[in-house]
Amino acid sequence: MAYIKTRDGTDLYVKDWGTGRPVILTHGWPLNADSWDAQALALAQAGFRAIAYDRRGFGRSAQPWKGYDYDTLADDLADVMKETGADSDAAIVGFSMGGGEIARYMSRHGGKGVVAAGLISSVVPYMLQTQDNPDGVPQSTFDQIGAGIQKDRAHFFRHSFIPAFFGVGLVSHPVSSDVIDWATSMALMGGLWPTLACAQAFSHTDFRPDLAAFRVPTLIVHGTGDKTVPIDASGRAAARGIAQSQLVEYDGEPHGLSVTASDRLTKDLLTFLGR
């Protein structure tokens, strides 16, 4: 099944590998389902059914004008689960922005059919710095991201956002330039408007009220060196608010740990899901 149609008629591209208990994977901003390939392949080879899809507006999915709020995105997740028949005994795992779909699905859809959840480098519970969220990211940072995208999106992603995503600096080079090019190519597959609208959604949506809806074992993985989604406002805060959570901190790892610590993440996912 290459595409499913959501309740509002949007076509979403779906990758469906393997057989067995389903694991639905939601990707980060501004990437697409291909960013999960290493883990999806390992899951399929281990006897799971790995389902990853391109969020609306990104990758090979349609780019409608509306629907980049988390209520709609959670409905899209529900529709993917229903249309693929993966709506029972399922695990749902979200990376970065994709963690928001997981949290909102758990509250908006009551966690229907879900037996385990995962938040990987996730934006949950709240990214924006406010008086009651002092560890968050300042609004000025998001303003700079929006300005960079609108001025020269290709340059911004290739030379600013994506290198930082993988922790590349003057001394540190945890990934090759080819990986940066690959991630940039994924980023540029997204539409300009969906890219901007989703940045607004993940940076300003407060998921703290959604945390109580997690009533299943939940794996939280976050890098202590994450400069994109700082761990104090995200992974550590989510672990405090989710009753059945297990927080695994990757010392020094950046945001894109699904690549920089790919083998470790795969092993941790398989161990968690195999419990």
Strands (E), the chain: 3-5, 11-17, 22-26, 49-53, 90-95, 114-120, 218-223, 245-250
Active site residue 177: no
Strand blocks (E) in 57-144? 90-95, 114-120
173 labelled catalytic: no
Looking at every residue in the chain, the average pLDDT score rounds to 97
| Average pLDDT rounded to a whole number, residues 215-244 | 98
Q: What confidence tens digit (pLDDT) does each residue in 16-58 have?
A: 999 999 999 999 999 999 999 999 999 999 999 999 999 999 9
Q: What is the DSSP string of 3-29?
A: EEE-TTS-EEEEEEE-SSSEEEEEPPT
Q: Please tell me the predicted confidence (pLDDT) of residue 170.
A: 81
Q: What is the pLDDT of residues 4-20, one digit of tens each?
A: 999 999 999 999 999 99
Half-sphere exposure for 244 (CA within 13 Å, toward CB): 11
pLDDT of residue 171: 85
The domain locations on the chain are: 3-273
Pick the CATH number of 3-273 from 3.90.25.10, 3.40.50.1820, 3.30.450.20, 3.30.2350.10: 3.40.50.1820
pLDDT digits (tens, 9 = 90+) for 152-207: 999 999 999 999 999 999 888 999 999 999 999 999 999 999 999 999 999 999 99
pLDDT band per the 50, 70, 90 thresholds, residue 146: very high
Of 75, 121, 255, 258, which one is the catalytic site residue? 255
Q: Which of 16, 226, 234, 268 is catalytic?
A: 226
Active site residue 96: yes
Spatial distance between the Cα atoms of 220 and 182, rounded to a whole number of angstroms: 26
Catalytic residue among 34, 61, 75, 96: 96
Say if residue 1's pLDDT is above 80: no
Residues 149, 258, 63: CA angle, nearest 5 degrees: 40
Q: Which amino acid is at 261?
A: A
